[in-house]
Amino acid sequence: MLPENEFQYHIHAREGDVGRYVLLPGDPGRVEKIAAYLDGARFVSQNREFVLYTGSLCGEAVSVCSTGIGGPSSAIAIEELFAVGADTFVRVGTCGGIDPKVRAGDLVIATGATRQDGTSREYAPVQFPAVPDFSLTQSLVYAAEDLGCRFHTGVVQSKDSFYGQHAPERMPVEGELKSLWEAWKRLGVLCSEMESAAQFVVSASLGARCAGIFHTVWNQERKAAGLDGYDAKNDNTDLVIRVAIEGVKNQIEKDRGGV
């Protein structure tokens, strides 16, 4: 393992390059879009799926670092960002709706995640829940309320295989995948994504804070049910970014004792 505070192998950063607060999009292409909301944002590094910028909000250093798709690269990002000074992480992601009430364009703020992944199992027993930090989640909820946007709070599905969801019938474990999907539906799971379980559990193992907010691209269950008002695919992530930024500002004020 690399010594703490030395140059990090994957994110190509060292102590002083990142802020305490870090926004974590999956998509490297979303980093500059988020960084545009920071004061004095500067490019720090780019390596593999990791693109890193640092600026400030409310006078505090804040960074944006992409994680790529899935738990393994997310764990690497959080491990290395933590090693050089970060301790508060907000996933700014996209998802596909499961619960019919979740429409394309809606935001989802996670209160927990199913651990249908492999990475989190190398950090904690399966009995340990994948849950976000309460205060940080609350900061995101306040931001969504203040901006007056349509959002939901609840459990999200976090899994490793995109095509296990979208083409389960061609997988040798078809029955298991379909059974789990039906269980999530009956349990009121809101949406499906691929990073939260790992990010929540890795952060917990480090004593760091993590929360997650998602833009809903579409909802396959609404389409399958032929519901009136089925919404077409929505790829506009402007709103989820704005809410995440305001959520971080809220948390900064809380941490200063202002809330």
Question: Cβ distance 10 to 77 under 8 Å?
Answer: yes
**Which option is the CATH number for 21-92+108-163+190-214+237-255: 3.40.50.300, 3.40.50.2000, 3.40.50.1580, 3.40.50.2300?**
3.40.50.1580
pLDDT (0 to 100) of residue 5: 57
Residues of the chain whose pLDDT is less than 70? 1-5, 228-231, 258-259
In this predicted structure, what is the pLDDT of residue 215?
98
67 vs 153: CA distance, rounded Å: 23
Per DSSP, what are the bridge partners of residue 158? Answer: 115, 193
Of the candidates 154, 151, 117, the one whose C-alpha atom is nearest the C-alpha of residue 132 is 154
* The pLDDT of residue 232: 76
